[in-house]
């Protein structure tokens, strides 16, 4: 074969073509490497997600089992201390009676804490249902029950009509009962309590709120509100286990929404939550 003689013009043309092709080939090579790296990272992420899901299931099962197993001995403690108070009170001095009453109060508080832990565990278990939920009706029902339990209290209750959404009705009922229950609890020292459930708009999204004129809270501690076992008021002021708001947050997050609060000490608090439109 006769060797081809390339002129300088040919060489310059080839160099120009190579100059155009090289960046394209380099970009394709980099894109392929990036795609392979992304695929690898996605596979690792899926693996870690499965591992995390398994760990969460184990933790939930452990929490449920431990909480469930603790109930039996607590019932025994509460039951036997009650028997002692009822059947042997004449053999106990006042200090002995007070000690037994403290034992009963402690066991009952622990029982309530276990119940709340079980509830917190349940809200992360099982499939969520999607149904039409009338939050206004739920709020009215909850407030009616609170009023029946303490008819001597003077509390004005206002519920906005037509607050309807989509979600798991069972879980959203827990949200309202917790938030309205807190509003009821923290207005107990008011001669005239006020509790309101309503809606507002923020950036075109419907926001639900529960407002009260109760004890309120210091906003500098607002980051602690939704943590499990976190309390901004002592149990000697207001009863509770510090689980309720953590439960509320988990439920709202499971629905794809968010929850936050504003408060002023001794003036009241407002709790807001959003739910994505369906």
Mean pLDDT of 15-39: 83
Residues 146 and 88 in one domain: no
Residues 105 and 165 in one domain: no
Euclidean distance between CA atoms 171 and 169, whole angstroms: 5
Q: Residue 229: what pLDDT? A: 65
Alpha carbon separation from 198 to 137, 144, 191, 209, 218 (Å, rounded): 12, 16, 23, 5, 23
The answer on pLDDT for 1 being more than 50 is no
Residues 268 and 137 in one domain: yes
Residues 147 and 270 in one domain: yes
Q: Which of 101, 122, 143 is the last residue of a domain?
A: 122
Mean pLDDT of 31-40: 87
Q: Which of 87, 122, 157 is the last residue of a domain?
A: 122
Work out how many domains the chain is built from and give that number. Answer: 2
Q: What is the CATH number of the domain that holds 220?
A: 3.30.565.10
Residues 140 and 267 in one domain: yes
Question: Is the pTM of the predicted complex or chain greater than 0.75?
Answer: no
pLDDT tier at 256, thresholds 50, 70, 90: very high
Nearest to 172 by CA among 134, 124, 210, 198: 134
Residues 138 and 265 in one domain: yes
Domain range spanning residue 201? 131-274
Mean pLDDT of 84-109: 84
DSSP state of 23: H
Nearest to 243 by CA among 228, 259, 253, 262: 228
The answer on pLDDT for 67 being more than 80 is no
Phi, then psi, of 105 in degrees rounded to 5: -60, -40
| Three-state helix/strand/coil letters over 34-102 | HHHHHHHHHHHHHHHHHHHHHHHHHHHHHHHHHHHHHHHHHHHHHHHHHHHHHHCHHHCCHHHHHHHHH
β partners of residue 167:
131
Q: Which of 45-49, 144-148, 178-182 is least confident?
A: 45-49
Mean pLDDT of 260-272: 91
Q: Which of 91, 122, 153 is the last residue of a domain?
A: 122
The answer on pLDDT for 62 being more than 90 is no
* Residue in the structure block whose two tokens are 């029902």: 141
**Residue 271 is encoded by which pair of tokens?**
């709790």
Residues 136 and 29 in one domain: no
Most confident of 1-5, 11-15, 113-117, 162-166: 162-166
Higher pLDDT pick, 91 / 134: 134
Neighbours of 187 (CB within 10 A): 22
Residues 66 and 115 in one domain: yes
Residues 38 and 145 in one domain: no
Residues 160 and 255 in one domain: yes
Higher pLDDT pick, 10 / 196: 196
Residues 266 and 137 in one domain: yes
**What SS3 state is found at 3?**
coil
The answer on pLDDT for 240 being more than 70 is no
Mean pLDDT of 170-194: 91
Euclidean distance between CA atoms 16 and 234, whole angstroms: 79
Residues 13 and 83 in one domain: yes
**What SS3 state is found at 207?**
strand
The answer on pLDDT for 226 being more than 70 is yes
Q: What is the CATH number of the domain that holds 86?
A: 1.10.287
Q: Which of 161-170, 216-225, 261-270 is least confident?
A: 216-225
Residues 193-217: tens digit of each pLDDT? 999 999 998 888 899 999 999 888 8
DSSP state of 153: S
Mean pLDDT of the chain: 83
């Amino acid at each position: 074969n006769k060797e081809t003689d390339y002129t300088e013009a040919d060489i310059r043309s080839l160099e120009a073509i190579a100059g155009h092709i090289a960046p394209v080939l380099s970009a394709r090579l980099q894109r392929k490497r990036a795609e392979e790296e992304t695929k690898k990272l996605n596979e690792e992420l899926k693996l870690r997600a499965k591992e995390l899901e398994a760990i969460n299931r184990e933790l939930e099962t452990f929490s449920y089992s431990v909480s469930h197993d603790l109930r039996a001995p607590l019932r025994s403690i509460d039951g036997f201390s009650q028997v002692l108070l009822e059947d042997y009170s004449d053999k106990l001095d006042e200090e002995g009676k007070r000690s037994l009453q403290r034992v009963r109060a402690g066991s009952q508080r622990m029982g309530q804490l276990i119940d709340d832990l079980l509830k917190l565990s349940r809200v992360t278990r099982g499939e969520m249902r999607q149904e039409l939920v009338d939050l206004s009706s739920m709020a009215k029902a909850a407030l009616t029950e609170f009023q029946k339990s303490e008819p001597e209290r003077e509390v004005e209750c206002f519920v906005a009509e037509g607050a309807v959404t989509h979600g798991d009705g069972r879980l959203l009922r827990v949200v309202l009962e917790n938030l309205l229950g807190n509003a009821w609890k923290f207005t107990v020292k008011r001669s005239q309590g006020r509790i309101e459930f309503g809606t507002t708009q923020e950036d075109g999204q419907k926001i639900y709120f529960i407002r009260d004129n109760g004890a309120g809270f210091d906003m500098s501690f607002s980051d602690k509100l939704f943590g499990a076992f976190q309390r901004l008021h002592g149990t000697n002021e207001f009863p509770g286990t510090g689980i309720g708001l953590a439960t509320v947050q988990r439920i709202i997050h499971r629905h794809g929404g968010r929850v936050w609060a504003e408060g002023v000490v001794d003036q009241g608090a407002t709790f807001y939550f959003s739910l994505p439109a369906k």
